[in-house]
């Protein structure tokens, strides 16, 4: 059986059936939420690294990253400030590809993602594996704009969107959880929208 994506989440009586608790459908809009000043990054000097508890720390330039097998995400994103945006199409490289290239050590259980600006966010390793996370450079058929994290951002769409670090440049594998920017300021360490894990203690 084939399920057409167009039918998933159809509105019933005006309410989407695929809206996590406490969220609303933002429609065609796409709010910008940035804690720092959006950097101006030259793709040719940007690079992506994987370090920490790996067999071989790796770094990819923009061109090297684009030579890796590409993969897409089709679906929604959910911001903790209660907007969700449906029907998005993203392209980039699966985080699995980067982790496999570096070789993840057995002791690794958590990841700290770091942006060129110093923004950080923490994630359990298992939530970045198995086709759940991307390093993305295209959204809805266009290069990611600077305000939305271009040239490259992390995309972890099954968690609240603050986990999707804009201007991402490093993934560090750790054996313990180290809180990132918003997590130190009270946001949840996991941030599952379906369990409404907005704040520490939720």
Ligand X SMILES: Nc1nc2c(c(=O)[nH]1)N[C@H]1C(S)=C(S)[C@@H](COP(=O)(O)O)O[C@H]1N2
Report the C-alpha gap between 126 and 133 in whole angstroms. 10
Report the C-alpha gap between 189 and 197 in whole angstroms. 8
Residue 7 Cβ vs ligand X, minimum distance, rounded to whole Å: 26
Q: Which residues, at least 6 apart from 31, have a Cβ–Cβ distance to it below 8 Å?
A: 79, 81, 83
Residue 176 Cβ vs ligand X, minimum distance, rounded to whole Å: 23
Q: Does 92 contact ligand X by CB under 6 A? A: no
SS3 content of the chain, % helix, strand, coil (to 5): 15, 35, 50
Nearer to ligand X, 99 or 136 (CB): 136
Count CA atoms within 13 Å of residue 192 on its CB side: 7
* Residue 165, contacted partner among ligand X, Mo ion, none, CB below 5-8 A by kind: ligand X
Q: Does 70 contact ligand X by CB under 6 A? A: no
Q: Which residues, at least 6 apart from 148, have a Cβ–Cβ distance to it below 8 Å?
A: 30, 32, 139, 166
Q: Does 90 contact ligand X by CB under 6 A? A: no
Q: Does 164 contact ligand X by CB under 6 A? A: yes
Report the C-alpha gap between 129 and 100 in whole angstroms. 10
Residue with tokens 């290239």: 101
Which residue's CB comes closest to Mo ion? 79
Which of these segments, 41-49, 68-76, 95-103, 115-123, binds ligand X (CB under 6 A)? Answer: 115-123
Q: Does 82 contact ligand X by CB under 6 A? A: no
Which of these segments, 6-14, 27-35, 59-67, 193-201, binds ligand X (CB under 6 A)? Answer: 27-35
Residue 22 Cβ vs ligand X, minimum distance, rounded to whole Å: 14
Alpha helices in 34-157 (DSSP H): 62-66, 95-102
Q: Does 197 contact ligand X by CB under 6 A? A: no
Q: Does 162 contact ligand X by CB under 6 A? A: yes
* Residue 199, contacted partner among ligand X, Mo ion, none, CB below 5-8 A by kind: none
Residue 41 Cβ vs ligand X, minimum distance, rounded to whole Å: 11
């Amino acid at each position: 059986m084939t399920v057409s994506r167009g039918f998933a989440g159809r509105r019933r009586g005006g309410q989407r059936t695929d809206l996590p608790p406490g969220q609303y459908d933002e429609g065609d809009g796409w709010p910008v939420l940035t804690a720092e000043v959006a950097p101006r990054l030259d793709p040719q000097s940007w690079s992506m690294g994987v370090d920490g508890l790996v067999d071989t720390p790796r770094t990819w330039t923009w061109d090297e990253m684009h030579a890796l097998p590409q993969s897409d995400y089709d679906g929604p994103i959910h911001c903790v400030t209660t907007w969700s945006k449906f029907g998005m199409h993203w392209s980039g490289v699966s985080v699995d590809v980067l982790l496999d290239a570096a070789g993840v050590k057995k002791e690794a259980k958590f990841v700290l993602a770091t942006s060129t600006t110093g923004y950080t966010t923490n994630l359990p390793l298992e939530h970045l594996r198995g086709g759940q996370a991307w390093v993305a450079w295209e959204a809805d058929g266009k290069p990611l704009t600077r305000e939305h994290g271009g040239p490259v951002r992390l995309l972890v769409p099954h968690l609240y969107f603050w986990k999707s670090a804009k201007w991402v440049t490093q993934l560090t594998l750790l054996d313990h959880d180290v809180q990132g920017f918003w997590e130190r300021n009270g946001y949840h360490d996991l941030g599952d929208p379906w369990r409404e894990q907005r704040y520490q203690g939720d």
